[in-house]
Amino acid sequence: MPQQTLSEAQLRERGLAGLAELARLEERTGSINAVAARALELVGSMLDADRAAVCAIQGDETIEWLAQRRLERLIAASSDLRPSELMWARRPLETGRPEIFDRRMPDHERSALSDTADQMGMAAFAIVPLRSGTEFAGILGLVWNDDPPELARDEELLVAIGRLVGLALGNVRLRDALLARQAELDESETRYRGLFEQAPEPILICDWDGRVLDSNRAASSLYGLSSRRLLSQSLESLTGLDREKRRALTTALHRTRRAEIQARGRRLAGTTFPVVLHLAVTALRGEERLLVQLRDMTETEPMQAELLQAQKMEALGQLISGVAHELNNPLSAIIAFAQLLRTDERLPADLAHDADLLAQEADRTRRIVQNLLDFARQRTPDRQHTQLAPLIERTLELHAYALRAGRIEIRLLLPTDLPAVWVDTAQIQQVLLNLTLNAIQAIRAGRLSGTITISARSDAGSGSSASVVRLRVEDDGPGVEESVRPRLFEPFFTTKQVGQGTGLGLSVSYGIVATHAGRLWFEPATNGGAAFILELPTSETAGGDSGENSSPSSASRPAAGTAPARSVRRILVVDDEPSIR
């Protein structure tokens, strides 16, 4: 049906129906400019407008033209004006009601745009405020070159048009804002997912019942399971937490929102590993979830144990140093009086024997105290060029009785050209005594006889070209259990029966060798026994001066043919222990 034959009521209904359809928010709805253009087309057809335009007004009164029909000249002329400067727009903007202006009336007030309007032949125009709910959305302007149709003078119709067009524009803006927000969320989700997947530490996302809802790559690698298979697991099955502990953990999380707990991780193959769980309550997609960060302590736990042991050793060293100093004073008196008793020629034979035993045991106690002091503090060694072969032979002579009683054979494999080492002879002999004594006691504890093999060779050393002498003390005794080996050099640790060892021999020996820039370690012997390897730098490597300390007593020895001068001396003895004075 041609438009001119339609009644005003039909035009009204058709136009409002079109605007209502335009105001419906759908995904296929076009841009805000396209919607504004379509609104101009519908309203212009309904009200027979010659020209029309739709604009939005920003908060700073900036005019944004969304669509127009044949109003280019007027829009160009008003580009520098604000809505408040347009006299004909003030009242509709203030009241929110549409208004029609007849420019031909004598009382019509002229404005800055009146000359342009005259040139365009504008007879009348309407200003329709556009609203979306309670929000102001913009202005619809309609222009007629002659009298406006009667339908255009229906104020309620103009109000309805303003609401429908404003709703259409508001819906488009809302849709665009939602789409922009969704794009931000999608970008945020992508960024979060990337950070989550690339996180170096394993992360699980669980619900309050402990069911795994998500996991990252590090968690899959830790457990050896794909992300899909991890989803079928629970926090209890992955961390070894029983139901009771998990409930207590849940209670703590409800109260503090964060928690930390140590557990034993469990892999599908059945292996376990130490793990620390850091848990936090977070909101994901509107629901509370548990963010579980797992830290594998497989490598860290031994380091912490070593640090704890080092701290314990430091405190133990301070305690030992104090105790040893306190023991030294009464021990010095015991040794001195035992020696004085032994020098008395009037002493009966049985008492002289007792005095010998007293001096011998006191000296043994002194050596234990000295071991404690050597362990507790570092002493500057008195080093000199030393051949190990004679030192080994002298050491074995001290064990002559124990070797015979235990029917222990000694096998010496010592090259004649073994280079000298730059060491404190007394300290290294102490190490050799400890190593050989341990070998003797090991054989006597497990068999009626045995063999100790002592071999030596020069070598380039470990990890460098420096020359070293490597000495190996090996026995064919019962050996050392694997569970005990990590503690061999730990102070006061011993597997011997009570009264047969202090547990200081190997730890003191280890410290002595370390001060000589050497190494001491254990190896299981091929025959099932034990072997301890002592590695010391040679004199050339250590840079020892052949003339230095070659004879510790040379400084105090008088020159040949010179008699010591005789003179009377008085000695002042000062000591806080009466027995020592």
Task: Kindly report, residue by residue over 491-542, the tens digit of the pLDDT.
Answer: 766 666 544 555 677 888 888 888 888 999 998 888 788 899 999 998 876 6
Mean pLDDT lowest among 88-92, 224-228, 282-286:
88-92
How far from 332 is each of 363, 502, 573, CA to CA, in Å?
9, 21, 14
Answer yes or no: are the C-beta atoms of 62 and 150 closer than 8 Å. Answer: no
pLDDT value at 137 more than 70: yes
Confidence at residue 554, expressed as pLDDT on a 0 to 100 scale: 39
Q: Which fold has domain 3-178?
A: Beta-Lactamase (3.30.450)
For the domain spanning 199-298, the CATH number is 3.30.450.20
Tens digit of each residue's pLDDT (9 = 90 or more) over 35-58: 899 999 999 888 999 999 998 887
Confidence at residue 411, expressed as pLDDT on a 0 to 100 scale: 92
Assigned token pair, 120: 């365009």
Band (146; pLDDT cuts 50, 70, 90): very high
Total-model pTM: 0.42
Q: Which residue has the higher pLDDT, 428 or 94?
A: 428
Band (559; pLDDT cuts 50, 70, 90): very low
Q: Which residues contact 251 (CB under 8 A, 6 or more apart)?
A: none
Q: Tell me how far the alpha carbon of residue 549 is from its chain's centroid.
A: 52
How buried is 396 (Cβ within 10 angstroms: 0-12 exposed, 13-18 middle, 19+ buried)?
middle
Task: Indicate the angle between helix axes 8-23 and 32-47, nearest 10 degrees.
Answer: 170
How far from 336 is each of 240, 339, 351, 572, 581, CA to CA, in Å?
64, 5, 16, 18, 10
Tens digit of each residue's pLDDT (9 = 90 or more) over 207-221: 988 889 999 998 888
For 419-564, strand residue ranges (E) read 421-423, 450-459, 468-475, 519-524, 530-537
Q: Could you tell me the sign of the dihedral formed by the alpha carbons of 327, 329, 332, 337, in that order?
A: negative
For 237-368, strand residue ranges (E) read 258-266, 272-284, 287-296
For the domain spanning 384-542, the CATH number is 3.30.565.10
Does the fold of domain 384-542 match that of domain 3-178? no
Mean pLDDT lowest among 284-298, 371-385, 517-531:
371-385
Q: Which residues contact 349 (CB under 8 A, 6 or more apart)?
A: none
Beta pairing, strands 530-537 & 51-57: unpaired
Q: Which residue has the higher pLDDT, 95 or 497?
A: 95
Q: Which fold has domain 302-376?
A: Helix Hairpins (1.10.287)
Domains in the chain: boundaries: 3-178, 199-298, 302-376, 384-542
The partner residues of 144 in beta bridges, in order of sequence, read 124
Query: Which residue, among 145, 105, 144, has the nearest Cα to 126 in the 3D structure?
Result: 144
pLDDT value at 14 more than 90: no
**Element housing 374 (H / E):** helix 349-376
Which whole number is the average pLDDT over 217-243?
85
Q: Which residue has the higher pLDDT, 577 or 406?
A: 406
